[in-house]
């Protein structure tokens, strides 16, 4: 841990910051998406039936959500680097442990604990960015980070498929350990501490709870946190059931990685586009419009899935529109939600990420477990989540959408 303490750094430029923050967050995504093609092989090896294979994904999501409650407060007290160091070490060690398991129960348990202790990899990057910039500029940087971050789920299933074909599913966990090691070395050498001494917070439970409560009680912020949880919960529902839905229902197992990547590509393009337009139009206008598109796509998918003979070529383009709209929602919603909390950025990021992840994980697991051999449960969930998200955003905005309200740094 001392290695991640004081270390001489040359100034970290904006581009390197974006790439490094994206890679830290990408470790979480790689730990989920690279596993998707292997779910069938793992369930076969351990004799697991039905939807239970989804626990490998759901346990990691849930652990990440619960774990996200803690690292922000420690990052506000001890700094960003030590918390990242702990997450990276656990990520590598538990990836290797998962590669050696001999039972399904042990695998699910290790995934839960890994998600729990690695949550700082999702929480701390947003706090580091907030340490440096605010407002619509933060939304632009978060979009660029999300764009690179989403390139990982774009290719992760294909990487997982290749590893699965050549060395089996255990090799995927070995690849996770290698990635974690490489990113850890980069953080150690290049990332300076960004917590200003005057923003250091007490580690007393009362202070932590007060700061987190503050981050979840403001009306102008909480709707964006819950709205994110709803729309991304429906995305988690797709992730949980994607291998069964595409591979088994639509019978396109061999093309799974390609189809999954095509659906995610829209999110990558959307985040890049968002980074170019958000400072011009404002995070609120862009994300509110995207939410309405998400709801419209939900209606289209609901109608399409209601027909007995829905085809893959109908399902994928509508899904791609839904996922592209999430590219305009994610970074903007989180930036708007974080805006009032510069002085407690770590605790705010923790509380908000935890609420988003736990709600999203539970919702995603419920949606995934509702899989009935058709796309109907997913379509119903995406439409419902979109409408509920609109309701909570209207609450935060006191009934008015598309407000410019320029975000200050």
Q: How buried is residue 102: exposed, middle or buried, by Cβ count under 10 Å (0-12/13-18/19+)? A: exposed
Question: What pLDDT was estimated at residue 223?
Answer: 94
Residue that is written with structure tokens 């609420």 in the block: 355
- Whether the per-residue pLDDT at 307 is higher than 70: the answer is yes
- Whether the per-residue pLDDT at 40 is higher than 80: the answer is yes
Q: Please, which residues have CB within 8 angstroms of residue 106's CB and are 6 or more apart in sequence?
A: none
Q: Model confidence at 137, in pLDDT bands (50, 70, 90)?
A: confident
What's the CA gap between 344 and 166, in Å, rounded? 47
Query: 9-396 adopts what CATH topology?
Result: Growth Hormone; Chain: A; (1.20.1250)
CA angle 151, 157, 159 (to 5 degrees): 85
User: Are the C-beta atoms of 20 and 128 separated by less than 8 Å?
Assistant: no
Question: What pLDDT was estimated at residue 402?
Answer: 83
Q: Please, which residues have CB within 8 angstroms of residue 393's CB and are 6 or more apart in sequence?
A: 223, 224, 227, 288, 291, 401
Indicate the pTM of the whole model: 0.78
Q: Find the mean pLDDT for residues 338-357.
A: 82
Q: Any idea where the domains of the chain sit in the sequence?
A: 9-396
Question: What pLDDT was estimated at residue 94?
Answer: 97
What's the CA gap between 151 and 138, in Å, rounded? 20
Question: What pLDDT was estimated at residue 152?
Answer: 82
- Whether the per-residue pLDDT at 407 is higher than 70: the answer is no
Residue that is written with structure tokens 């819950």 in the block: 226
Which of the two residues, 126 and 296, has the higher pLDDT score? Answer: 296
- The string of pLDDT tens digits covering residues 358-395 is 898 899 989 988 988 889 999 999 999 999 999 999 99
Q: Find the mean pLDDT for residues 51-65.
A: 89
Q: Which two tokens stand for residue 40?
A: 């069938």
- Whether the per-residue pLDDT at 139 is higher than 80: the answer is no
Q: Model confidence at 249, in pLDDT bands (50, 70, 90)?
A: confident
- The string of pLDDT tens digits covering residues 255-303 is 888 888 888 888 888 888 988 888 888 889 999 999 999 999 999 999 9
- The string of pLDDT tens digits covering residues 169-191 is 999 999 999 999 999 999 999 98
């Amino acid at each position: 841990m001392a290695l991640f303490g004081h270390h001489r750094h040359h100034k970290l430029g904006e581009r390197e910051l974006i790439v490094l923050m994206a890679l830290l967050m990408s470790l979480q995504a790689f730990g989920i998406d690279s596993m998707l093609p292997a779910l069938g092989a793992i369930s076969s090896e351990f004799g697991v039936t039905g939807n239970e294979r989804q626990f490998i994904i759901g346990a990691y999501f849930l652990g990440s959500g619960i774990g996200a409650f803690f690292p922000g407060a420690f990052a506000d007290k001890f700094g960003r680097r030590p918390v990242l160091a702990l997450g990276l070490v656990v990520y590598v060690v538990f990836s290797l442990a998962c590669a050696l398991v001999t039972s399904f129960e042990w695998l699910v348990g290790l995934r839960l604990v890994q998600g729990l202790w690695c949550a700082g990899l999702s929480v701390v990057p947003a706090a580091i960015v907030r340490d440096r910039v605010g407002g619509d500029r933060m939304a632009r940087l978060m979009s660029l980070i999300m764009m690179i971050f989403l390139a990982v789920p774009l290719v992760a299933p294909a990487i997982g498929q290749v590893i699965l074909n050549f060395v089996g599913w255990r090799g995927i966990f070995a690849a996770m350990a290698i990635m974690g090691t490489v990113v850890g070395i980069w953080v150690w050498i290049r990332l300076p501490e960004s917590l200003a001494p005057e923003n250091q917070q007490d580690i007393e439970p009362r202070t932590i709870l007060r700061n987190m409560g503050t981050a979840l009680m403001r009306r102008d912020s909480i709707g964006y946190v819950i709205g994110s949880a709803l729309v991304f919960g429906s995305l988690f529902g797709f992730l949980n059931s994607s291998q069964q839905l595409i591979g088994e229902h639509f019978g396109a197992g061999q093309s799974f990685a390609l189809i999954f990547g095509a659906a995610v590509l829209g999110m990558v393009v959307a985040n890049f586009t968002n980074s170019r337009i958000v400072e011009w139009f404002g995070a609120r206008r862009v994300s509110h419009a995207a939410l309405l598109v998400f709801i419209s796509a939900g209606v289209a998918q609901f109608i399409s899935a209601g027909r007995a003979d829905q085809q893959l070529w109908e399902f994928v383009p509508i899904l791609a529109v839904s996922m592209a709209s999430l590219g305009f929602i994610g970074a903007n919603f989180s930036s708007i939600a974080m805006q009032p909390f510069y002085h407690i950025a770590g605790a705010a990021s923790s509380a908000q990420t935890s609420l988003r992840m736990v709600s999203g994980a539970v919702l995603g697991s419920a949606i995934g477990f509702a899989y009935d051999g058709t796309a109907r449960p997913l379509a119903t969930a995406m439409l419902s989540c979109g409408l509920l998200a609109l309701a909570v955003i209207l609450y935060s905005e006191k009934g008015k959408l598309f407000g410019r309200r320029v975000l200050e740094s």
